[in-house]
Structure 1
């Protein structure tokens, strides 16, 4: 006679004359089916379908949403400046799944980075959400606002992406940095928001002429905002970085 543990390992429970080595062989054979032996890793930098490998024991999923684009700046006159805030970073989540919960295949969505706003005081677009089916979802970072020419003032940035579902751990994206104008100088703070899988994108710094900012860092970082000094033409914002989904399956 035999019995099984809750994890499926068969062990002897017998008073017959089965030899000891036969019991040990049964125990070793069944244990092989629930002990990690190999790793299958599927990395998605674009949307696709995850297929569960054979002999799966556990599935570990990491999901990063895309970062927001920064807004553009309107043209400035004499004694004016403009400084658009940075886009925010995308949300991150991760979790462990049993093979039966994950299923045989799952639709994977990888969020695109948000586009920078067109030249002028035009907002950047939000980053796209990434997901592992409906099991783990994340929200992309928000696009930064556009900035008009002023003699002094601040343009507030948006909060990082948040509000997804599922998983065992999640972290909102980092906020974008505010755009700040002092006199006819556009001064920094308009960094792109960080994400769990990316660094913050540096601000454009004190600008006497014109800069369009910097695209967000992979994966999921927000773009830093553009800045204009006095008497400059309108400038567009920069793009957020796309997300990524990493699925690691531990197999017997």
Structure 2
């Protein structure tokens, strides 16, 4: 007679008179079914469907939300400037799941990067939420506000994404940098917020330069803000980076 351990390994009982080598063969065969022998990794840079591979032992899911888009700047006049803040980076989450919990398939949603605000003092849009079915979600970063022409102002930046559900580990996206105008000069500390899978996007260059900011870094980075020196036309913001979902299955 034989019995099984809680992990599924078959072993002989005292009344079993099978030859020793047959016991060892059974032990080796059943152990093969619960020892990791290969890895299947499916990387989603756009939404789709995950299908569980045969022989799955454990499933590890990483979910990165999209980065926010930055705001635009309104036209400036002599003696004034505009500096829109940077947008927030997307939230990141990860979790381990048994094959039964992961299911045979799951809908995968990859959050888009937020759009930059249109030309003028117009806000950018939030980054999209990424998810693995209903098991784990990560929220996108907030889009930043726009900036009007001014001689002195501080425009607060947007928050990084947070508040998703599920998983074993979670990190909020980084906040964007504030838009600052001091003595009619845009002070360019309006960086785009970082994410767990993306670096911070630096602020733009020379104070008198007209620039729409820089798009967020993959994956899930927020965009840096637009900025204008004196006497320049309105300008749009920049786009955040899309998120990503990575599903790694350890199989026998």
Q: Do they fold alike, i.e. is TM over 0.5?
A: yes
Please give the alpha-carbon distance, in whole angstroms, between the structure 1 residues aligned to 2:27 and 2:3. Answer: 11
Please give the alpha-carbon distance, in whole angstroms, between the structure 1 residues aligned to 2:17 and 2:8. Answer: 24
Task: Indicate the residue corresponding to 1:113 in structure 2.
Answer: 113
Task: Indicate the residue corresponding to 1:37 in structure 2.
Answer: 37
Please give the alpha-carbon distance, in whole angstroms, between the structure 1 residues aligned to 2:108 and 2:209. Answer: 43
After TM superposition, the structure 1 = structure 2 runs for residues 122-141 of structure 1, keeping only pairs within 5 Å, are 122-141=122-141
Please give the alpha-carbon distance, in whole angstroms, between the structure 1 residues aligned to 2:79 and 2:16. Answer: 98
Is the partner of 1:61 in helix, strand or coil? strand
Task: Indicate the residue corresponding to 2:246 in structure 1.
Answer: 246
Is the partner of 1:211 in helix, strand or coil? coil
After TM superposition, the structure 1 = structure 2 runs for residues 167-246 of structure 1, keeping only pairs within 5 Å, are 167-246=167-246
Is the partner of 1:21 in helix, strand or coil? helix
Task: Indicate the residue corresponding to 1:70 in structure 2.
Answer: 70
After TM superposition, the structure 1 = structure 2 runs for residues 5-154 of structure 1, keeping only pairs within 5 Å, are 5-154=5-154
Instruction: Indicate conservation of the 8 Å contact 1:69/1:125, yes or no.
Output: yes
Shift of 1:203: 0.7
TM-score with structure 1 setting the length: 0.99
Shift of 1:206: 4.2
Shift of 1:114: 0.2
Please give the alpha-carbon distance, in whole angstroms, between the structure 2 residues aligned to 1:196 and 1:106. Answer: 23
Query: Which has the larger displacement, 12-21 or 115-124?
Result: 12-21
Shift of 1:43: 0.4
Instruction: Indicate conservation of the 8 Å contact 1:208/1:228, yes or no.
Output: yes
Unpaired segments ≥5 residues, structure 2:
none
Shift of 1:14: 2.9
Shift of 1:83: 0.2
Please give the alpha-carbon distance, in whole angstroms, between the structure 2 residues aligned to 1:16 and 1:215. Answer: 69
Aligned CA RMSD, in angstroms, stands at: 0.8
Instruction: Indicate conservation of the 8 Å contact 2:67/2:140, yes or no.
Output: yes
Shift of 1:209: 2.9
Instruction: Indicate conservation of the 8 Å contact 1:209/1:232, yes or no.
Output: no
Please give the alpha-carbon distance, in whole angstroms, between the structure 2 residues aligned to 1:72 and 1:12. Answer: 73
Query: Which has the larger displacement, 126-135 or 3-12?
Result: 3-12
Kindly tell me the number of residue pairs found equivalent between the two proteins. Answer: 252
Please give the alpha-carbon distance, in whole angstroms, between the structure 2 residues aligned to 1:39 and 1:169. Answer: 21
